Amino acid sequence: MASPVRANRHGKPHAKIITWLGTYGVATPGVDVQDNTTVRLDADNEPQPDALLRIEPEVGGNSRITEDDYIEGAPELIVEGVRGI
């Protein structure tokens, strides 16, 4: 079971972040927007940010989608919302 998340301290800001990044992603070719996706930075670090924006490698981005469907390498932008307990 996931940790409890508050509506105004996380849910609402998270929705605004996703709307912002999603709008940017739709308007910007070569940009990929992801929500709550594991990122493999190296063998010991696999964060799961609330949202991220990555530039596709074909247009100069730093990360890629692996064959097993994870992001590998550092995305260009990671956004974390505020979590309430």
The pLDDT assigned to 3 comes to 79
| Distance from C-alpha of 39 to C-alpha of 85, rounded to nearest angstrom | 24
pLDDT for 7-53, tens place per residue?
998 889 899 999 999 999 999 999 999 999 999 999 999 999 999 99
pLDDT for 66-83, tens place per residue?
999 999 999 999 998 765
Token look-up 């550092």 returns 74
Dihedral angle at the C-alpha atoms of 15, 34, 52, 48, nearest 10 degrees?
A: 100
In contact, 75 and 48? CB cutoff 8 Å? no
The length of the chain is 85
Whole-structure pTM value:
0.86
The pLDDT assigned to 83 comes to 59
In contact, 71 and 47? CB cutoff 8 Å? no
